[in-house]
Amino acid sequence: MSSEPHYHNADLKFSDADIPSGRIAWRSPSNIALVKYWGKKPVQIPQNPSISFTLSKSYSETEVAYSPAVSETLEMEFYFDGQRNPAFEEKTASFFAGLSGIFPFVNQLKFVVHSKNTFPHSAGIASSASGMSVLAMILCDMERQLFGTLQKEDDFRRKVSYVARLGSGSACRSVYGGLIIWGETDGVTGTSDYYGFPVNEGIHEVFTDYQDTILLVDAGEKKVSSRVGHGLMNGNPFAAERFRQARANLTDLLSALHTGDTETFIRITESEALTLHAMMMTSQPYFLLMKPNTLQIIERIFAFREKTSLPVSFSLDAGPNVHMLYPAAIKTEIRQFVKNELLPLLSPLGFIVDEVGKGPEKIL
Summarize as ranges the residues that interact with ligand PMV (CB under 6 A). 33, 36-38, 50, 126, 128, 168-170, 226, 230, 276, 317-318
Pairing of strands 75-80, 83-84: antiparallel
Nearer to ligand PMV, 318 or 342 (CB): 318
Task: Please state the closest distance from residue 15 (CB atom) to ligand PMV, in A.
Answer: 37
Residues whose CB falls within 8 Å of the CB of residue 280, separated by 6 or more in sequence, listed in order: 224, 229, 232, 286, 287, 288, 289, 318
In whole angstroms, how close is the CB of 154 to ligand PMV at the nearest point? 23
**Distance in Å, CB of 50 to ligand PMV, minimum:** 4
Name the residue nearer to ligand PMV (CB basis): 27 or 230.
Answer: 230
Closer residue to ligand PMV in complex, CB, 38/80:
38
Residue 108: C-alpha distances to residues 63, 67, 94, 146, 174 (Å): 18, 9, 15, 13, 28
What is the smallest separation between the CB atom of 249 and ligand PMV, expressed in angstroms? 12
216 or 276: CB nearest ligand PMV: 276
Between residues 95 and 337, which has the closer beta carbon with respect to ligand PMV? Answer: 95
Identify the sign of the CA torsion 93, 96, 97, 98.
Answer: positive
Residue pair 76/93 in contact by the 8 Å Cβ criterion: yes
Minimum CB distance to ligand PMV, residue 192 (Å): 16
Residue 55 CB, shortest distance to ligand PMV, in Å, is: 12
Task: Pick the closer one to ligand PMV by CB: 47 or 170.
Answer: 170
User: Of 126 and 214, which has the nearer Cβ to ligand PMV?
Assistant: 126
For ligand PMV, the closer CB: 157 or 173: 173
Q: How far is the CB of 87 from ligand PMV (least distance, A)?
A: 15
CB of 68 to ligand PMV, least distance (A): 33
Give the span between the Cα atoms of 264 and 252, in whole angstroms.
8
Select 36 or 159, whichever has its Cβ closest to ligand PMV.
36
- Please report how close the Cβ of residue 310 comes to ligand PMV at its closest, in angstroms: 26
